[in-house]
Amino acid sequence: MGRLGIDRERPLFIVDVDEVLGLFMASFGVFLQGHGLELRLDRYALFQNIYAPGAAEHLDLAEGRRLFDEFFRRGCADMEPAPGAAEALRRISRQATVVVLSNAPAPARLGRARWLGRHGLDYPLMLSSGPKGPPAAAMAARTTRRCAFVDDLVSNLDSVAEADPGVARFQHVADVRLQPLAPAAPDRHRRIDDWTELGEAVAASLAER
């Protein structure tokens, strides 16, 4: 974790990639089309939204996982960045350390790092798996200042709240098609789907004493 460059005397901003910094589902959908499949946005889910054309039942979950892993080996470099994300992070980085925390498969590290750099998001990257509370709390413990966390999934936001309640938490869903489908918990985590507004809210939370 030392390679992340966390400064004890600076605030810390931890941010997710898929559907936060990048339009993951749009890119994954294009990838699936190349395999003769389709992504139906019927719910806020991943593998349960993969179908063969005309099929009534979604693809087998194990096959969905295989395609997900293949996407990160071959297709994730084509993902479009979320509008406004790069500029918002540039502003936040003037006052805080920025770390990208992504639940991507380990083979995706190089491709994901190159994607971040290509889109003006060249910040330290940490890959993890499972709930994000433990790694986020471990990072937050390395600074004496405020910490903020952004993710699209309520489950990860809840995990961070449990692991370190002092971390400011924000939910963001980048793809406008998914915003009405994404579960939210506004009583626990502030939901902001516009990066300009979100960047200002994060900066304000990090400036608190």
pLDDT per residue over 84-133, tens digit each? 999 999 999 999 999 999 998 888 888 899 999 999 999 999 999 999 99
pLDDT tier at 1 (50, 70, 90 boundaries)? Answer: low
Contact status, residue 128 vs residue 44, Cβ threshold 8 Å: no
Mean predicted confidence (pLDDT) in 18-34: 96
d(CA 80, CA 138): 30
pTM, whole model, 2 decimals?
Answer: 0.95
Beta bridge partners of 191: 171
Residue 81 has pLDDT above 80, yes or no: yes
Residue 10 has pLDDT above 80, yes or no: yes
CB atoms within 10 A of CB 135: 22
Domain residue spans in the chain? Answer: 2-23+79-207, 25-78
Mean pLDDT of the chain: 94
The domain 2-23+79-207 having CATH identifier 2.40.50.100: the answer here is: no
Contacts (Cβ under 8 Å, ≥6 apart) of 17: 24, 100, 102, 104, 112, 116
d(CA 141, CA 135): 10
- pLDDT score recorded for residue 108: 84
Helix axes 24-33, 61-74, angle to 10 degrees: 100
Contact status, residue 111 vs residue 135, Cβ threshold 8 Å: no
